Amino acid sequence: MPETTPNRTVLITGASMGVGAATARAVFARGDNLVLIARGREALDSLADELADSSRVLVQPLDVTDLKGFESVLEQAAERFGGVDVLINNAGFHARGPLASISTEDVGRMIDVNLKAPMQLTRASLPYLQRSPRPAVIQVASLAGRTPVPGSACYSASKFGLRAFSLAIAEEMADSAIKFACVSPGPIDTGFIMEDIDAVSDLTFSQPIVSAKQVAEEIVRLIDDRRRDAPMPRLSGFLTTLTYLFPGLGRAVRPLLERKGRKTKERLKKARE
């Protein structure tokens, strides 16, 4: 008889909605156990009920900046499922607008949630991942972390940092069995953007909109393939690389991209009326 591959245990932050919830569904469908973290219990419980097999799902309301709480979740996961094999750092926070319009608290919150927490949670998870036969850490960044985005300076900085952390830790731990990778989507058709559409930069909407399900499917592929860096869509990743390497080019094409983005934004707003 062929050998069977044991199910993995996948821990997802920001799991109650959007990309996190879509990833939970995709991971669950392939037979893995789930540890779901988000700030609100109600949405987590609703997702767990939808998945309909409580023996494979551990739900824990938690703010990702609560490191002690996260360490407790790791212990619970090890007790319940025998360990943690995959960490998906998906939770994010974005206060949009020019820097001068954003509160000091929100500036700190973006760095804490988008960069500091993923770094700390990755560090805290290492002892568990190192015991896994097939470990992985996936960071959910953004195209805004590949090229500067005016009006999203702090968010862009936090996602630049997250991507750099992912690439650097992959080199630092190249001799380990842990797969480190980063996915960088453009605009995603979720409430994270659509419910705050007027505040989203026109430049953001110049890029193709992807669905939460598409991002989730890419995350699942990244867990097992050899890639370390996955922009979405790939053509947008190429464009962000060009505009990062050649800032003058970025400034030259920005007005064109912003006009395109404004048209897309108006079309989306009308469709939601």
Domain boundaries, the chain: 9-272
Report whether pLDDT(249) > 50.
yes
Contacts of 225 (CB under 8 A, 6+ apart): none
The mean pLDDT of 251-258, rounded to a whole number, is: 91
- Looking at residue 1, its pLDDT comes to 33
Backbone angles phi, psi at 162, to 5 degrees: -65, -45
Contacts of 106 (CB under 8 A, 6+ apart): 93, 95, 154
Report whether pLDDT(5) > 80.
no
Of 109, 106, 103, 70, give the one whose Cα is nearest residue 89.
70
Q: Are 56 and 28 in contact (CB under 8 A)?
A: yes
Per residue in 155-197, pLDDT (tens digit) is 999 999 999 999 999 999 999 999 999 999 998 887 777 777 8
- Looking at residue 133, its pLDDT comes to 94
Check if 128 is active-site: no
The single residue of 70, 128, 155, 160 carrying the catalytic annotation is 155
Per residue in 206-222, pLDDT (tens digit) is 898 999 999 999 999 99
Assigned CATH for 9-272: 3.40.50.720
The mean pLDDT value of the chain amounts to 92
Report whether pLDDT(109) > 60.
yes
- Looking at residue 2, its pLDDT comes to 36
